[in-house]
């Protein structure tokens, strides 16, 4: 029975490792990745987090935009 668990664990771990493998970026793909709109901007991410926090606080909804609820906190 322990061998079955060990084999199952090995299969799961190897599946995760295979899913995390990366391929090098091709020369023609680098131009697309270098565009300004593809760059990571932490300020925009933080602004979106603040906007979501404000929405959740005003709407009194526990899951933010994913779940609708009344402004009074009742459903």
Identify which has the larger pLDDT, 50 or 7.
7
Helices (H), ranges, the chain: 2-19, 27-33, 42-59
**Tokens encoding 1:** 């029975």
Residue 71 pLDDT greater than 60, yes or no: no
d(CA 52, CA 23): 34
Distance CA 75, CA 65 (A): 14
∠ CA 58-62-67, nearest 5°, is 95
**Residue 68 backbone phi and psi in degrees, to 5:** -85, 150
Q: Is the predicted pLDDT of residue 53 greater than 70, yes or no?
A: yes
pLDDT at 11 over 90: yes
């Amino acid at each position: 029975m322990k061998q079955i668990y060990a084999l199952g664990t090995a299969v799961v771990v190897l599946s995760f490792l295979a899913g995390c493998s990366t391929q090098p970026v091709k020369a023609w793909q680098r131009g697309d990745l270098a565009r300004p709109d593809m760059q990571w901007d932490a300020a925009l991410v933080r602004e979106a987090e603040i906007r979501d926090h404000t929405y959740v606080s005003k709407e009194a909804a526990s899951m933010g935009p994913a779940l609708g609820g009344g402004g009074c906190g009742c459903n």
